[in-house]
Structure 1
């Protein structure tokens, strides 16, 4: 489950299904994977958007998420697993969370519900070495932060800008870590604007605001 290994897997899928994507977007672990994809397979990435994560994200910053995914493995009913999810996600609508639970959990033969994810990731490793992947980015780069999320700190933004001075950084107010769930329209607008902000270059640092 390491971002470099995942990036190689994503590269295989992209070469088969979408060899010339206009933009690669990754959120959380997917964002770190996208950074590694750009570094290891630069021919597949013309524009890169990373959502609420940097290599500076550590266990302390991710503690609320860790606490949630380290919770009960099994729930007696759908209502119970939904209730826990609602308590953890106060910025989301219940209808949105209901859809999310149906996608990310499944009912067992005995009527109980369990999450689909592998709990080996309950305690994430350190990602500091992936700053080298940030150095390797040679295309326009966007970091999107959730205004209510603590997963990305101001010091992480400073480090990102030190390594990629032209990187764009946008804060989506009212969103936690799961920006796509909390403020989907705003995130789509940010990504659409980034996608249309000048032609991506084949090499060199990406321009930004």
Structure 2
């Protein structure tokens, strides 16, 4: 399990695949860690270099005091990529990871050659919604919100067909440090990248789980409409985490986009 000091904190990361191959960088969502990309990485690391990490306050990375700004997350990812010598990458971001990817591409265009933005948007939710969630977690811990989050994460049949996996992802969610979770809730509350998205001129693929209850497909489609020349694709049989529910389909989308539009 590699660790390193980046942007004044310890981040847990994985750097796999051929060192000289084009790089794909993966950014996880709120309440998860780099393990959500395991099945995607297993399929793509033969051909591509795969860099993924735990966001601050998630997984095995350090948990600074809340709140976190989008600039904090950009600084973490940029420091990691600089330290690992990764430039001109295809950056794949899920949910808040998509916002981080968008902001990174705007701030450090040398690091992001193209984007895959999964189950995300230029603006997610309202200030009131995020403040209410922060309060609920402060008062009741992660377990207080777990069920309401999980029903948005997965397609209807997932907990029925994969009950052990569903329980495992619940464990991932409720074991997220409270300070890390609410810190990144503040990121989502405060980040509005509408203007950033409309000005980005680089290849982009927007993906949406057909049954996503957190960032519904129409919201993801609105992001694609903002991004000049972006493509939009739906992933059937998936909620907010298509990398978990439909990794083969998602990996094919990423790989095809990388070959045809990014590293052709």
Please indicate, yes or no, whether the TM-score normalized by the shorter chain is above 0.5.
yes
Q: Could you say which residue in structure 2 is the equivalent of 1:154?
A: 218
Task: Note the alpha carbon deviations across 1:118-142, whole angstroms, 9 max, x for none.
Answer: 34255741533x1122134232111
Cα deviation, 1:21-51, whole Å, max 9, x if unaligned, reads: 5411110111100000000000001121111
- Point out where structure 1 has 5 or more consecutive residues left out of the alignment: 76-80, 107-114, 202-209
SS of equivalent to 1:46: strand
Moved over 6 A (4+): 81-88
Q: Is the 8 A contact 2:199 2:227 kept in 1?
A: no
Shift of 1:73: 2.1
2: distance between equivalents of 1:101 and 1:35? Answer: 28
Residue of structure 2 aligned with 1:15, choices 59, 63, 82:
82
Aligned length: 183
Alignment counterpart, residue 190 of structure 1, candidates 253, 257, 262: 253
Higher normalized strand content (fraction of residues):
2
User: Could you state the TM-score of these two structures normalised by the residue count of structure 2?
Assistant: 0.57
Separation (CA, whole Å) in 1 of partners of 2:242 and 2:216: 13
**Cα displacement (A) at 1:97:** 3.0
SS of residue paired to 2:260: coil
* Structure 1 contact 3–29 (Cα < 8 Å) conserved: no
Query: Hey, what does 1:100 align to over in structure 2?
Result: 169
When residues 23 and 42 of structure 1 are mapped into structure 2, their CA distance, relative to the original with a 3 A threshold, is same
Equivalent residue for 1:167, pick from 221, 225, 230: 230
Q: CA deviation at 1:194?
A: 1.0
2:189 alignment partner in structure 1: 125
Q: In terms of Rg, which structure is larger?
A: 1
Please list every run of 5 or more consecutive structure 2 residues that lacks an aligned counterpart in the other structure: 1-67
Q: CA 1:117/1:193 → structure 2, altered by over 3 Å: closer, same or farther?
A: farther
Once the 2 structures are TM-superposed, how far is the Cα of residue 96 of structure 1 from its aligned partner? 2.5
RMSD (CA atoms): 3.5
What is the rounded CA distance, in whole Å, between the counterparts of 2:115 and 2:170 in structure 1? 28
Tell me, what secondary structure is at the counterpart of 2:110? helix
- Is this contact kept in 2: 1:140–1:200, CA < 8 A? no
2:39 paired with 1:39 = no
